[in-house]
Amino acid sequence: MDCFGFLNNKKKKTKKKEARGASERAGGAPVAPAAMTSMSSSASRSTASTVSQKGIPELYEEKAHNLRVFEFDELMNATNSFSRMNKIGEGGFGSVYRGHIKGTLDGVDDKRRMVAIKKLNQRSMQGHKQWLAEVQFLAVVEHPNLVKLLGYCAKDGERGIERLLVYEFMPNKSLEDHLFNRAYPVLPWSLRLQIALGVAEGLQYLHEGLEVQVIYRDFKASNVLLDNDFKPKLSDFGLAREGPAEGHTHVTTAVVGTYGYAAPDYVETGHLTAKSDVWSFGVVSFEILTGRRSLDRNRPSHEQKLLDWVRQFPIQSKKFTMIMDPRLRHEYSVQAAREMAKLANACLVKNTRERPSMSQVVERLRRVMRVEVEQQEH
């Protein structure tokens, strides 16, 4: 399985024995963990690097043994040959299927466990790179508001390469589904606040809770999955990058992401920082408030761009409540809604230095929730 051929030649020799040991502990082919050293050594460290600080590849090698390496046939059987009946999603990477897996997963011996299996589209130009990034980052991170990667599969054959990821199953779909699809029940206001706080804590952990900073780079409602109790979890780490090296302010990289969510400073310069995620959080905050997409071509021209539309209704004016999702039927604290809108605006300041950090966002959201509780008590 020669699926990681773009490693630096110098690293191949020094890492060979170490990689073989790590992959054998994971139950897979000897080359798999060494492959993960390829991701953040280029653009994500383009500004500089420090010898002492561990990067994602080094942290991955320490934790790779926690992932289960699946056989392709096993995942074929789990999904009934990737039946359309088991297909639950699709994106640029490929398709996602539900399936049932037997054996040990995440340290637990399950007779039969429901999982989500993402299968790379073989025609995807960026898919392999994103698959590598997801394996690396999700093997390293661990937080209640980040989706858990259980294992992966990499197979090369005459019919081409197969790349798959196996995640914990999230039964309540995505925040996008519940905000914008009228076939779903309305998300109550209090639950919207809890979801906003949960994903903010997930981003805070990525920015501040690891040995190396991680910039998520693709925060949007469709990447917020909801578990059985509607606890939110960030998914899809294919575009995640390491933050800037010590002494540097940004990472210079190709501009990727989703139009309507990417920070304008990042789009214009290619300079990526944690404040790029903060901007995206501001956009999604307004989606949570309004029940509208950041960009909706089906609306009248003056309402298509959410951020332009909400500016017509100043936060302290009587008109402010006109931005609120009508499906909430006024069952929310106007004061709490105003505080959340103020926070969203703070995240959307053009000057990146003036945007709050995610730890500040978390603290302000907690205050918003206290305001909500106080208003309900009165």
Q: What is the pLDDT of residues 314-349, one digit of tens each?
A: 999 999 999 999 999 999 999 999 999 999 999 999
Element (H, E) at 192: helix 189-208
The model's pLDDT over 265-294, given as tens digits with 9 standing for 90+, comes to: 999 999 999 999 999 999 999 999 999 999
Chain-centre distance of CA 170, in angstroms?
A: 14
Residue 15 clears pLDDT 50, i.e. is over it:
no
Is 84 exposed, middle or buried, given 0-12, 13-18 or 19+ CB atoms closer than 10 A?
exposed
CATH of domain 1-169: 3.30.200.20
Q: How many residues does the chain have?
A: 378
Instruction: State whether residue 233 is helix, strand or coil.
Output: strand
pTM (two decimals): 0.84
Q: Where in the chain is the domain with CATH 3.30.200.20?
A: 1-169
Specify the higher pLDDT residue, 303 or 48: 303
- Which tokens belong to 293? 């997409």
CATH superfamily of 175-377: Transferase(Phosphotransferase) domain 1 (1.10.510.10)
Residues of 290-304 as b/e, b for ≥16 C-beta within 10 angstroms?
Answer: bbbbbeeeeeeeeeb
| Catalytic residue ranges | 218
Q: What is the mean pLDDT of the chain?
A: 86
Task: Report whether 319 belongs to an annotated binding site.
Answer: no
Whose CA is closest to 69, among 133, 24, 19, 16?
24
Contact 203, 271 (CB under 8 A): no
Q: Where in the chain is the domain with CATH 1.10.510.10?
A: 175-377
